[in-house]
Amino acid sequence: MARDGKAAKTCADRAGLFSSHRWRIGGMQGGKLMPGLPEILKALIAIVVLINPLEGVPIYLSRAAKLSDAERLKVARKASITVLVLLLAAMAGGKAVLYLFGIQIASFTMAGGLIILLIALNMVLSSPKDDPSSGGSGDFSIVPLGTPLLAGPGPISSVIIFSSQGIGGHDALWMSDVVLLAIIIAASAITYLCLRVAIPVGKLLGTTGINVMTRLAGILVAAIAMQMIVSGALKSFPGWQ
C-alpha cells in the first residue's frame, strides 16, 4: 500500500510538473515566454504613436503633391522601408550597445523616457512650421521623411528598451524577440498605409485637423514617456515602491 501510494504521488507530481510547464509555454505563468495580447497591442500602439506618421504628412503633402501616383508609391515605400531597417537595426544592436558601454536598462529607460517626453512636449506646444526644403526636387523619402521625422530617437529608443527587457517588462526571451519583430513589421506597414492615404486625408483634415491630431498624439506620447521614466526609476530605486 505504501509503495502504491508513493508511486501514485510520484505520478501526480510528474503530471503537475508537466501541466505547469505546458502552462508556462502558453504564456500564462512564470517567466511568460509569450507576451499577452494586451501587452502586444500596447507595444504596437506605443511604437506607431512614437513614429507618428502625422508628423511626416506636411512635408509629404508639400513635396509629393506634384508627383505621379507611381512616384508617390515609391516615396511611401522607401520611407517605410527606412523605418523598418532602422528599427530592426535598433532591435539587433541595441542590447549590444548597452552592454558595450555598461549601461543598465533601467538607466536607459529613464533616459529614453526623457527624450520621448521632450518629443511629446514639442508635438503639443510647437507651432506648425513649413518644410524648409519644400521647394527642392531631391529625394526626400529617406532623409528627412524616413529619418529623423518618422524613425527618430523616440521609436528607436523604445525598440531598444523592448528588445532589452522584453514586451511588457517580462524576460527578453526569444519569443519576445519574435513578437517585437512582428510589431516592427506591423508598425512599418501602418506607416506605409498612412503615407499612401496622406494626400486624401490631408485634404479632408486640413492643416488645422492635422495639428489637432498631432497634439492629441503628443499627449499620449507624454503619458508613455512618463510611464517609462517611472518604470526606470522604480527599477533603479526599489525602495521607492
Listed range (83-92, 163-172, 195-204) with the worst mean pLDDT: 163-172
Q: Is 133 a residue whose pLDDT tops 50?
A: no
Helix count and strand count (H, E) for the chain: 8, 0
Residue 139 is predicted with a pLDDT of: 83
pLDDT in tens, 43-58: 999 999 999 888 788 8
Identify whether residues 84 and 173 lie together within a single domain.
yes
Peptide bond into 148 cis (omega under 30): yes
Residue 171 is predicted with a pLDDT of: 57
SS3 152: coil
Identify whether residues 52 and 80 lie together within a single domain.
yes
Task: Give yes or no for a contact between 106 and 221, defined as CB atoms under 8 angstroms apart.
Answer: no
Identify whether residues 185 and 70 lie together within a single domain.
yes
Identify whether residues 3 and 111 lie together within a single domain.
no
Identify whether residues 103 and 188 lie together within a single domain.
yes
Arithmetic mean of pLDDT, 196-202: 87
Identify whether residues 132 and 148 lie together within a single domain.
yes
Identify whether residues 21 and 88 lie together within a single domain.
no
Identify whether residues 127 and 22 lie together within a single domain.
no
Sign of CA dihedral 38, 153, 87, 190: positive
Listed range (10-24, 131-145, 216-230) with the worst mean pLDDT: 10-24
CA distances from 73 to 52, 64, 196, 203 (A): 19, 10, 7, 18
Scored b (16 or more CB within 10 A) or e, 164-202 reads: bbbbbbbebeebbbebbeebbeebbebbbebbbebbebb
Q: Is 12 a residue whose pLDDT tops 80?
A: no
Arithmetic mean of pLDDT, 125-144: 67
pLDDT in tens, 204-240: 888 888 888 889 989 999 999 999 999 999 988 988 8
Identify whether residues 26 and 101 lie together within a single domain.
no
Residue scoring higher pLDDT (134 or 223): 223
Range of the domain at 6: 1-30
Ranges 77-86, 148-157, 161-170, most confident: 77-86
Q: What are phi and psi of 27, to 5 degrees?
A: 85, 25
Name residue, grid cell 508617390. Answer: 72
Residue 172 is predicted with a pLDDT of: 53
Arithmetic mean of pLDDT, 195-203: 87
Residue 166 is predicted with a pLDDT of: 83
Instruction: Identify the burial level of 7 via C-beta atoms within 10 angstroms of its C-beta, where 0-12 means exposed, 13-18 middle and 19 or more buried.
Output: exposed
Q: How many domains does the chain divide into?
A: 2
CA distances from 31 to 20, 21, 25, 158 (A): 12, 11, 9, 21
Identify whether residues 95 and 127 lie together within a single domain.
yes
Q: What are phi and psi of 18, to 5 degrees?
A: -65, -45
Identify whether residues 14 and 59 lie together within a single domain.
no
